Homo-oligomer: A and B are copies of this chain.
Amino acid sequence: MTHSHQIRVRYAECDRMGFVHHSIYALYFEEARTEILRNRGISYKDLEDDGILMPVRSMQFTFMKAGKYDDLLTIEVNLAAPPEVRCKFEYKTFNQNGELLNTGETELFFVRKSDLRPIKLPEQYKTFLTI
């Protein structure tokens, strides 16, 4: 199931080429997957308050076209596999003209906050994270 999230590009997020700096998409994708979780009934903040952290294990972005200042971007997020020990999200960024700017994927894992040890996602959260 795909979720869409809109983000307006900030001035400080563009570099001197006038393009959204490539590092910024990591922030956009994080915001977008937080909103897909919220949309499914999970606040990532609550997850952390429950003692579960979700560090990023890997990320991979491919850039086709530059985002620009003041663009109104649409990020499509897709949960790529049912989460067990890891959780994989896929992203596509479109600008206001419907042009595909880039694609990305990030793999996150679950960690117990108290001792930073990897854990499986507890059952009560899994129901929210079906594909």
Interface residue total, chain A, C-beta cutoff 8 A: 36
Are A31's CB and B8's CB within 8 A? yes
Point out the residues of chain B lying under 8 angstroms from A17, CB to CB.
16, 53, 55
In the complex, A11 has a CB within 8 A of chain B: yes
- Answer whether A58 and B63 are a contact pair too, CB < 8 Å, given A11-B30, A27-B23, A31-B8: yes
8 Å CB contacts to B: which residues of A1-41? 8, 10-12, 14-19, 21-24, 26-27, 30-31, 34
Q: Chain A residues in contact with chain B, CB under 8 A? A: 8, 10-12, 14-19, 21-24, 26-27, 30-31, 34, 43-45, 48, 53, 55-63, 66, 69-70
